[in-house]
Amino acid sequence: MSTDSKDDLVFKALANGLRRQILDALKNKAQTTGMLCEQFSSLDRCTVMQHLKVLEEADLVIVQREGRERWNHLNAMPIQAIHNRWISQYAGQAMSILSALQQGLDRVPE
């Protein structure tokens, strides 16, 4: 698959709020599909699994099978690649500062 097609998969996977929430849930620890279904209890199991499949195809989630369980791990490499593509190493530091300033400004009461 070309890099451009891979990138398409990544951005299409991220262009859905629920899939972004699943990645948020995996940020700090890997979770089994069962654990994710409990957290997203408003969705049926089939829907959660479909979203996980899209994330897996985009390489944003890596699945590790242990017996009957599927452990879903966040793979941050494609996200790092987005950053590397448009933000150089030095600009990244300036962006972090700007981003922190922006968050500070957002917290200031009007």
- Cβ distance to its own copies smaller for residue 43 or 87: 87
Q: Do the beta carbons of residue 59 and residue 79 sit within 8 Å?
A: no
Query: Whole-angstrom Cα distance, residue 76 to residue 27?
Result: 9
CB of 15 to its own copies, least distance (A): 4
Tell me how crowded residue 21 is: count the other CB atoms within 10 A of its CB: 14
User: Among residue numbers 85 through 104, which ones bind its own copies (CB under 8 A)?
Assistant: 85-87, 89, 91-92, 95-96, 98-99, 102
CB of 68 to its own copies, least distance (A): 28
